[in-house]
Structure 1
Amino acid sequence: MNVGTNRGDAHAFKLDTLLKLVDVKGADGKTTLLHFVVQEIIRSEGARLYGGSATETSAMNDDAKCRKLGLQVVSGLSSELSSVKKAAAMDAEVLSNDVSKLSKGIADIGEVIRLNKPISMEESSTNKFSDSMNSFMKKAEEEIIRIQAQESVALSLVKE
């Protein structure tokens, strides 16, 4: 990317740069940089799937086949990116706070169960409650640990 410029050979870009793709227009005033990027993706993906390269030396028929294959790839992107809008709306800090609240809630439930333990075996209704709640607590604690692990992985991937 940007080969031959003083910021050349870039391997990445900031996501907010994507918003500028529509604003940069070609000499005709109609074609945007986004149009160009999509056409290049169609061409390169088509060439990759077709097994050759879409160069000037390839026949017109081969070029049409490459474009058709590339267009199929680009048109399938919407299904692959269906969760992006939902994910973009999520705030990592809010998610982290929710996980912390769940963890604290489970700890509070554990304290209530500990305080509600039957004094004698004659209190069978309390014993059944304790057994049920202990079973729930075990599952809930395992789930919270799993969620916290997934949260850590997600945050490290975002930082990466």
Structure 2
Amino acid sequence: MFLKLLEAVLKTGNRMNIGTNRGDAHAFKLDTLLKLVDIKGADGKTNLLHFVVQEIIKSEGARVVSSSPNQSPVSAFQDELELKKLGLQVVSGLSSQLINVKKGAAMDTDSLSLETSEIANGITKVKEVVAEVKQETGVERFLDSMESFLNKAEEEITEMQSQGSNVMKMVKEVTEYFHGNSETHPSRIFAVVRDFLTILDQVCEEVGRVNERTVYRSVAPSNQTVTPLFQSENG
């Protein structure tokens, strides 16, 4: 769903900027998602994200209906509002799907890496102490226990460091893919998506209320709503 939303934002931006040098974009930085609510419609209340969500929920509602073996699109879902309700459930569920992104945004990766290194250094120091104790007598049981502990601890900390390196490598790759700037702090991508999900949740609630209020009104074709609502950017 996240990729579908990104695609919808890109298509909407290109439609708005048709005829300009921005009208044939193939990508955009994720930071742009946070600016969608700043592009207001003629009523001063509707923003670009409202429009994008309205477009997606119609297509997603139709997709849900077409994939349901127990429902008839003609008899059970002939009301467009019902289609939008189904689609809105799909879009509003994105926040739950990306719950780990929110957790990632709350993590301090630098501190986590530092703490892992400190644990590894601590294990090394313990090994040095155990090596000195080996010269003493009557400590065989203690040495056996410590060696078993150290072997397990070394394996776990090595695995932890390896996984941490792999995770940060993948995060950097994702950051470069979506942001195009390898110098950007890798964790920023989590913060951007987290903030966008908060905005999206609010917009989904607002769209749901608007659709409920217009239950008895006909829905205007989408190709008649883009131009009057949002102005194209020149340049």
Match of 1:55 in 2: none
The 2-side partners of 1:14 and 1:79 are apart by: 23
> CA shift at 1:16, angstroms?
2.4
SS in 1 for 2:39: coil
Residues 1:67 and 2:80 are matched in the alignment = no
SS in 2 for 1:83: helix
Match of 2:228 in 1: none
In the alignment, residue 142 of structure 2 is paired with which amino acid? F
Residues 1:18 and 2:33 are matched in the alignment = yes
* TM-score, normalised relative to structure 2: 0.55
Match of 1:135 in 2: 148
Residues 1:94 and 2:111 are matched in the alignment = yes
Q: Deviations over 1:65-101 (max 9, x none)?
A: 4323212212322322333333112233222222222
Q: Is the 8 A contact 1:110 1:137 kept in 2?
A: yes
The 1-side partners of 2:147 and 2:59 are apart by: 58
Q: Is the 8 A contact 1:21 1:32 kept in 2?
A: yes
Consecutive aligned runs of 4 or more in structure 1 exceeding 4 Å deviation: none
The 2-side partners of 1:117 and 1:37 are apart by: 70
Q: Deviations over 1:111-148 (max 9, x none)?
A: 2222222544xx0xx22222222122122112112211
* TM-score, normalised relative to structure 1: 0.76
In the alignment, residue 101 of structure 2 is paired with which amino acid? V
> CA shift at 1:30, angstroms?
0.3
Q: Deviations over 1:26-57 (max 9, x none)?
A: 111001222223223322322333338xxxxx
* Equivalent residue pairs, number: 150
Which gives a bigger RCO, structure 1 or 2 (Cα 8 Å, sep 6+)? 2
Residues 1:34 and 2:80 are matched in the alignment = no
- How many percent identity over aligned positions? 55
Bigger shift: 58-67 or 106-115? 58-67
Pairwise mapping of residues 110-129 of structure 1 onto structure 2 (< 5 A)?
Answer: 110-117=127-134, 119-120=136-137, 123=138, 126-129=139-142
The alignment yields a C-alpha RMSD, in angstroms, of 2.6
Residues 1:107 and 2:124 are matched in the alignment = yes
Unaligned runs of 5+ in 2: 1-9, 68-72, 174-235
Tell me: CA distance 1:107–1:44, structure 2 relative to 1, closer, same or farther (3 Å).
farther
The 2-side partners of 1:51 and 1:142 are apart by: 51
Q: Which has the larger radius of gyration?
A: 1
The 2-side partners of 1:39 and 1:135 are apart by: 60
Residues 1:9 and 2:22 are matched in the alignment = no
Tell me: CA distance 1:44–1:128, structure 2 relative to 1, closer, same or farther (3 Å).
farther
The 2-side partners of 1:20 and 1:158 are apart by: 23
Tell me: CA distance 1:135–1:64, structure 2 relative to 1, closer, same or farther (3 Å).
same
Tell me: CA distance 1:107–1:41, structure 2 relative to 1, closer, same or farther (3 Å).
farther
The 2-side partners of 1:116 and 1:36 are apart by: 71
